[in-house]
């Protein structure tokens, strides 16, 4: 947990990081493709333990076959598993997505909820996914989505020493101004994809490493 003594130092550190990221990625946004909030939820669930690139290869065919929420409510689970098989964990994802469709239809009258409290009650939606869905569907920002890139780079950039997504999010929310929470998520993700990748590389050549003098 960030201490009161560390907080002003880390806030200044983030300001420096943010200035560089804003120049590198002036228009950061989610990489998943979708045309409505329900498709966003489906794409986000499919992206668990799967690359956004692969999800974007699967969803055009999926969304053409399952066009409306009711198509998911009535879907045959075995057929749906085949349709999303390439995304991995297809049985669990099928259970969650089809269960979510029923909850959204019956409890929320076909409209995704707009609060964190309600969203995390939807099958297959945890806090990270809820942050992504609420922010992109409604512009509702209640936190910072800590995906694998954000988790790794928050430590690499010296913003936190925590290891769990929940504790990392708490530290980042204290360090980063709330107005920048949504943008910060996607700037960090884009940086992780474009420069500071998870596989071995010359870390000293990464823009932020050079800027921070690490």
Give me the CATH topology for the region 7-29+143-212.
Answer: Endonuclease Iii, domain 2 (1.10.1670)
pLDDT digits (tens, 9 = 90+) for 61-119: 999 999 999 999 999 999 999 999 999 999 999 999 999 999 999 999 999 999 999 99
Task: Provide mean pLDDT across the span 168-183.
Answer: 97
Per-residue pLDDT tens over the stretch 10-64: 999 999 999 999 999 999 999 999 999 999 999 999 999 999 999 999 999 999 9
For the stretch 188-205, pLDDT in tens is 999 999 999 888 888 888
pLDDT of 49 reads: 93
What pLDDT does 56 receive?
A: 98
CATH of the domain spanning 37-138: 1.10.340.30
Per-residue model confidence (pLDDT) at position 214: 55
pLDDT of residue 59: 98
Q: What is the pLDDT of residue 141?
A: 97
Domains of the chain by residue range:
7-29+143-212, 37-138
Mean pLDDT of the 168-184 span: 97
Residues 6 or more apart whose Cβ sits within 8 Å of residue 201: none
Residues 68-101: b if buried by 16+ CB within 10 A, e if exposed: ebeebeebeeeebbebbeebeebeebbebbbebb
Reported as a pLDDT band with limits 50, 70 and 90, residue 177 is: very high
The mean pLDDT value for 169-187 works out to: 97
């Amino acid at each position: 947990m960030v201490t009161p003594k560390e907080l002003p130092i880390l806030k200044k550190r983030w300001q420096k990081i943010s200035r560089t990221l804003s120049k590198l990625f002036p228009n950061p946004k989610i990489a998943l493709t979708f045309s409505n909030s329900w498709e966003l939820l489906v794409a986000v669930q499919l992206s668990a333990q799967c690359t956004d690139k692969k999800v974007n290869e699967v969803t055009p065919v999926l969304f053409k076959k399952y066009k409306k929420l009711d198509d998911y409510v009535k879907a045959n689970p075995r057929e749906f598993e085949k349709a999303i098989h390439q995304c991995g964990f297809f049985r669990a994802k099928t259970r969650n997505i089809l269960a979510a469709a029923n909850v959204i239809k019956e409890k929320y009258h076909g409209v995704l909820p707009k609060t964190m409290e309600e969203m995390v009650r939807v099958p297959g939606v945890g806090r990270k996914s809820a942050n992504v869905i609420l922010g992109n569907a409604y512009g509702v920002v209640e936190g910072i989505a800590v995906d694998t890139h954000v988790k790794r780079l928050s430590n690499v950039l010296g913003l936190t020493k925590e290891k769990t997504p929940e504790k990392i999010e708490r530290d980042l929310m204290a360090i980063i101004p709330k107005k920048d929470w949504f943008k910060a998520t996607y700037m960090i993700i884009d940086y992780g994809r474009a420069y500071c990748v998870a596989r071995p590389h010359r870390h000293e050549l990464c823009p932020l490493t050079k800027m921070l003098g690490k």
